[in-house]
Each structure stands twice: as C-alpha cells, then as structure tokens.
Structure 1
Amino acid sequence: MSTHEVHAGHHGHHDDHGHDHHDDGPHSTFSGYMIGFMLSVILTAIPFWLVMGKMVENRTMGVLVLGAFAVVQILVHMVCFLHMNGKIEGGWTLLSTVFTVVFVAIGIAGTLWVMFHMNTNMMPSHAAEPPSLQHPQHAPE
C-alpha cells in the first residue's frame, strides 16, 4: 500500500486544490470575543455587587449564588474563548472536559466528606480545656 493510498481515505475533506475544509472548527470573530468579554464583565460585576451591597444575608445562600455565577462564567469562557462545543474533534474535547469536571467534583466531594467525618469522629471534644488555656484566677489582695 502506498503512502498516497493511506492518505487518500484519511478524512475526505479536500477540495479540488487539496486544501482541508473544517466547517465545524473554531471560528474567532471580534463580535464573538466581545460578547464573551461583556458576559464575563457582567458575570463578575453582579456577584461583586451582591457581596459589596450585602444583598445576600445567609452565608450558605451566598456561597451557592456565587458558585452558580462562577460555573456560568466558566462555561462562558469555555464557549466564547476556548471555542469548545460538541462539534470540535467529534465531541471528544467536550466529552473529556465533562469527564474531568465530574472526576474533580467527585474528588473534592470525597475529600470534604472524609475530612468532615474524620474531624467529627476522631477529634477529642473541646469541652474540657487544658489547664494552660484556662484563665488564671486572681486572688484578692
């Protein structure tokens, strides 16, 4: 089998001049970058305003809201600046990114779960302070 035969059936994306066509590849445009930039600014300004204006009183709710804005901003960066979508490389880039995110989330959740339970089950109670930390009694003079 010659080298020409191997490359002839490789992708079949050649035109009459022998150039490759990648219609589904990333296309960078100024307007695409500006949309990504504006979304990034908005997704940064809103959480900043929420925190500085003390709009969210509950700490748990604040963490959830700020986390949601962070996740949306990551997605905006992946789509607008990294040009990740389901079409590039047959979807493998997106699939590998999803796998990585799930793997990291499981690792973080598992680590927090182990540390919380280790702290709960292994640490001595803090009810009895060591004598060195107790306040000295002042004797009346």
Structure 2
Amino acid sequence: MEQHHSKYPIGHIVGFFLSLVMTIAAMFVALHTNLPRPTIMSIIGILAFLQAGMQLFMFMHIKESDNSVVQVVNIIYSIIIALTIVLGSIWVMHN
C-alpha cells in the first residue's frame, strides 16, 4: 500500500489549530458562562473526548496503518483502561 507523504504537514497544522480551538472553547465555557456546574463539566468532557479522537487521527496516523484490526483492538483496550482509571478515581473520591 503506497502512502503519499507531503513535505508540508497540513494535517498536523489543522490538527494543532483544532486542538487550540477546542481548548479555548473549554476554557471559555468554564470561565465565562453562567451554566450550571454539571453542564460545564459535561461540555468540557465532550470537548476532551473529541480532542483525543481528533489527535488520534491527525497526529497518531490511526487511519494509515496496514493492520487496522490490531489498532482497533488497541484503541478499545486503551479506552477501557482510561475509563477504569477515571471512573475508579471518581468513585474513590466520592466514597
């Protein structure tokens, strides 16, 4: 499978600016809105999830692999580990 590599990394530039936009949006929602706290936390969580997914495709080149099944299994495993750590931490902090 032949891959075309450009000298100018436009995908990386776009990914960087999208990351900045999502980070600034989360900061704006947290600091400059009067939304209820659970709504703010939900918006920040959604933006974080979208940013992580975008970075997987823009910077980690997930879609450019020869063995996509292995990468899908690795991503699912990583999501399970991340959810276990986050939800476990929240559970411990509330109990």
Q: TM-score, with normalisation over the residues of structure 2?
A: 0.76
Identity of aligned residues (%): 20
Quote how far apart the aligned CAs of 1:114 are: 5.7
1:42 pairs, out of 15, 21, 39, with 21
Aligned residues: 93
Match of 1:94 in 2: 72
How many Å apart are 1:109 and its aligned residue? 2.3
State the structure with bigger RCO (CA 8 A, min sep 6), 1 or 2. 2
The answer to whether residue 84 in structure 2 is matched with residue 106 in structure 1 is yes
CA distance in structure 1 between the aligned counterparts of 2:76 and 2:30, rounded to whole angstroms: 30
Which of residues 70, 81, 88 in structure 1 aligns to 2:59?
Answer: 81
Runs of 4+ in 1 over 3 A off after TM superposition: 25-29, 110-116
Q: RMSD of aligned C-alpha atoms? A: 2.4
Q: Displacement of 1:70 after TM fit? A: 0.7
Name the structure 2 match of 1:70: 48
Q: How far 1:112 sits from its partner (Å)?
A: 3.6
Give SS of 2:74's match: helix
Q: 1:101 offset after TM fit, Å?
A: 1.0
